[in-house]
Amino acid sequence: GAVVSQHPSWVICKSGTSVKIECRSLDFQATTMFWYRQFPKQSLMLMATSNEGSKATYEQGVEKDKFLINHASLTLSTLTVTSAHPEDSSFYICSATRIGGSNTEAFFGQGTRLTVV
Amino acid sequence: DAKTTQPTSMDCAEGRAANLPCNHSTISGNEYVYWYRQIHSQGPQYIIHGLKNNETNEMASLIITEDRKSSTLILPHATLRDTAVYYCIVRLNTNAGKSTFGDGTTLTVKP
């Protein structure tokens, strides 16, 4: 089956620093990847849609200058949390659909737990 | 995406069938029913999806009512490893990576 991998799985950073999270489709190409955020005991919330070679589309209420998304290739999208603060501590998850596939299945990464101290 | 309603939590005995209901009374004709699950501290995992016919795969069965206003996910022989939050999502059959997740049902499989 298709595999989506995130790196790192967890990260602790100091307040004010930036953190980059990678999302890779290991065995397929994806023109579109999606980034979600999940706070404790809450459901996943879509943050943005990442399109290869173009600007990301952000959901309402998500600051595009704070959450920088780059989708430089068909297998890699990155999310950078800039000037992180404790309230950004969350579980960040990406997903991707496969080019040439049925477009009906979404493959999710294992998630990245960010803790800002 | 059409709104879905799921029970907050359910228990199931190990080895028994787990039947997870989902109401989606506002589903439109071209929307599919998708099920995902999320085991604690992991990313969601695709389980199954369907339009109007019942579906079965190696993980589960999906029963959709004739009027398509509700569905049931069936795990035929639940194991402790099936303990997870199960999400029922109704959406178009495009851009499957973009989904609106509700609160889901927390299924606890007990020995």
**Per-residue pLDDT tens digits for B26-76:** 999 889 999 999 999 899 998 999 999 999 999 999 999 999 999 999 999
Report the pLDDT value the prediction gives residue A72, as an integer from 0 to 100.
Answer: 83
* Å between B21 CA and nearest CA of chain A: 18
Do the chains contact at A104 and B32, CB–CB below 8 Å?
yes
Do the chains contact at B100 and A108, CB–CB below 8 Å?
no
Residues of chain A in contact with residue B98, where contact means CB-CB under 8 angstroms, are: 32, 34, 46, 49, 95, 106
Got the DSSP string for chain B?
----B--SEEEEETTS-EEEEEE-TT--TTEEEEEEEE-TTS--EEEEEESSS-EE-SS-EEEE-TTSSEEEEEETT--GGG-EEEEEEEEESS-TT-------EEEEEE-
Residues of chain A in contact with residue B104, where contact means CB-CB under 8 angstroms, are: 43
Do the chains contact at A105 and B96, CB–CB below 8 Å?
yes
B70-93 residue pLDDT tens: 999 999 999 999 999 999 999 887
A40-66 residue pLDDT tens: 989 999 999 998 888 899 999 999 999
Residues of chain A in contact with residue B95, where contact means CB-CB under 8 angstroms, are: 32, 97, 103
Residues of chain A in contact with residue B45, where contact means CB-CB under 8 angstroms, are: 108
Report the pLDDT value the prediction gives residue A51, as an integer from 0 to 100.
Answer: 85
In chain B, the percentage of residues whose pLDDT exceeds 70 is: 95
A74-98 residue pLDDT tens: 899 999 999 999 999 999 999 988 7
Reading the block at residue A41, the tokens are 């005991």
